[in-house]
Copies of this chain bind each other. A is one copy, B any other.
């Protein structure tokens, strides 16, 4: 008996969408049954027997698409952004009417980025000091990156949980900005450099040693393994899952 998954892609003509089409086609355990762009009919998904849909459209289109998918029992892996508490509550209501259907929403499908955050969080309590350096191309509009800000918050929360004291820092005189941005007591530094794409380094330091966790993203194809993993897992995860980390096996082995 075949275990091939019947997969559709919504938003198939976008930059990430077209990459997802190729990734599904290349996966041994999946069959691409539909690749829909703007204006294509959702009914195609039912006609082709899609089991999972990868949703990579726009904040405007995503709620309508998910409503259709969930009501037809088609699982969804969602990369589209713009999620608010209101929207998530609305989606939960739809899911309540189709209790076997699963939806994964992930702000970041890069497995490396997700692992960096989880490892930083797990290690934070064991070190006196922790800072984050993120490095991006110079066309980026915000500093620090959302991922770096989130990482700093997770580190700060883990330190608080463990009862860690404030970080040691004897700085008396400093040029404005030298010590970075302060996010819940964790310093974050943003480098902008031509030639870079998206990189992040978490530095943890204790007596006589440091631990550095670095993620380098060199191409948006880095989202594909995470999307495929989401497709494989969402069929066994009814209800709403927020964040790819819940589908990663991170119970560290002994």
Contacts and interface: CB of A to CB of B under 8 A. Distances in A.
Given A175-B183, A177-B182, A197-B218, A192 B129 contact: yes
This protein's copies in its complex: 4
Interface stretch (A49-57, A58-66, A116-124, A231-239): A116-124
Interface of A is mostly: mixed
A216 B221 contact: no
A28 B251 CA distance: 32
A126 interface: yes
Contacts of A121: 252-253
Interface string A147-173: 001000000001000000001111111
A201 to B, nearest CB: 9
A225 B206 contact: yes
Given A169-B192, A252-B251, A214 B216 contact: no
A238 B139 CA distance: 40
A35 B251 CA distance: 39
A254 B251 CA distance: 11
Contacts of A204: 112, 193
Nearest to A149: B175
Interface of A: 110-113, 115-116, 118-119, 121-123, 125-131, 133, 135, 138-144, 149, 158, 167-183, 187-197, 203-225, 229, 243, 245-246, 248-254
